[in-house]
Structure 1
Amino acid sequence: MLLRPATPADADAIAAHRYPDGEDAAARPAYATWVREALVSGDYLGLLAEMDFEVVAGAGLVLLNWGPGRHDPSPIRARLVNVWTHEHHRRKGLARQLTGELLAQARARGIGTVSLAHTGMSRPLYESLGFRAYPQEMLLKLEAT
């Protein structure tokens, strides 16, 4: 198993990890364009696991210029995204390994806050890595005018 940094050439694969269901396939090109640019600018850190030259798992961090906060002086926060493992390679620790490496990279950059969205299946993994539920978060989707 080879772990390697994601490159702009991996943008289409990362978009497929983000939108794995066929019903979401139409969103892939726009996301691939965004992630390609974010990889170039350094606003996205991605790691991929390869076996026999095939990507079998991946994970990424979006770096956000959030500004220093009351409990975190670092102006940069990170959001863990696109944690995906091919169904034939699940339950082998790949998501844990990729996520752990990205968290180490965040610590090395002085980032003190990492957030994520999760599924019921992934929650135990993230809790075991120290993530805790944050009930104060809310979401508003603004419609274009």
Structure 2
Amino acid sequence: MQQLNVIGLDQHHAEQLAERLNQLLANYQVFYMNVRGFHWNIKGKEFFELHVKFEETYNDLLLKVDEIAERILTLGQRPLHAYSTYIKASEIIEVKDVHDGKACVREILDSYRVVIRLQREILEIASDANDEGTASLMSDYIKEQEKTAWMLTSYLG
């Protein structure tokens, strides 16, 4: 017999989605801190342009961190909340002492590749589970980030 959670999703699917969303959350947290560091430490002729872009990026990432955690809670599960746990669960690694603009942008692109791939996987699971809320969130993120990745790639030439 199928057990449904408070929003009418199969409990097993909700747990599976929350597990994957927690993995995504961990990646977003490390991604956020990396971009925050790029913002603080950028140097060179591209400083003014990239300093503003990195702030825009980390503010967006922080909003997504909150939305992902709230989606996990909506699924009736618990979001990860310790940075030590994020480091262990994240595919994105901590980046330290990077201040060259193009190197920072390349790191951001690498991080977008990771989160876009994870979001596509979550989108597929959510679709199979009839979880429109999670599917919609992932679809919105993917659409936005694909455009951002294209623009950053163009920036690098």
* TM interval, short-chain normalised: 0.3 to 0.5
* Structure showing greater Rg: 2
Structure with the larger helix share: 2
| TM-score normalised by L of structure 1 | 0.33
Structure with the larger strand share: 1
If asked which structure has higher relative contact order (CA below 8 Å, sep 6+), I would say 2
